[in-house]
Every structure is written in C-alpha cells, then in structure tokens.
Amino acid sequence: MSRECEVTGKKPLMGCNVSHSNRHTKKRFELNLDTKRFWLEDEKRWVTLRVTARGMRTIAKRGLGAVVKDLRAAGKKI
C-alpha cells in the first residue's frame, strides 16, 4: 500500500539533508498519515480512510458525505 492520502492525494516528497559541511544526502519527507474510521450517516456504516491531518480538516469542513461522493466519482472504492 502506498503512502498516500485518500482524500487529498498527497504523496511523500523527495529532498536532501544538508549537513554543516554542505554535503547533500537524499531524504524522503513522509506524510502525517493516520488510518481513521468515520461514521457515514447516509449509509449507517463505518468507513475506514487513510488520511493526513489536512485530509481530516477537509472532511471536517466539507462533510464526510461530500468527500465520499467525490472519491467515488473519481473511481475509488469506498
């Protein structure tokens, strides 16, 4: 399973650690991912999503029903 937010679609970024001597070594900037269960009132069931903190804020702002509707329109199985 890839480390990707199901709501926002964000993925890890690549970059460099830069030491005091200015040496560059590769680094991967991971997401703040969490597997979270949400109660979907329309269908009277729990929905498990792998979301970032930003994705949880999006769900709180727009509502779970609207977010699930957009995910299904994009072809994701929820």
CA dist., res. 18 & res. 39, Å (int): 44
| pLDDT tens, N- to C-terminus, the chain (78 residues) | 689 999 999 999 999 999 999 999 999 999 999 999 999 999 999 999 999 999 999 999 999 999 999 999 999 998
pTM: 0.84
- The torsion defined by the Cα of 52, 55, 61 and 65, in degrees rounded to 10, comes to -130
H/E segment holding residue 66? helix 64-73
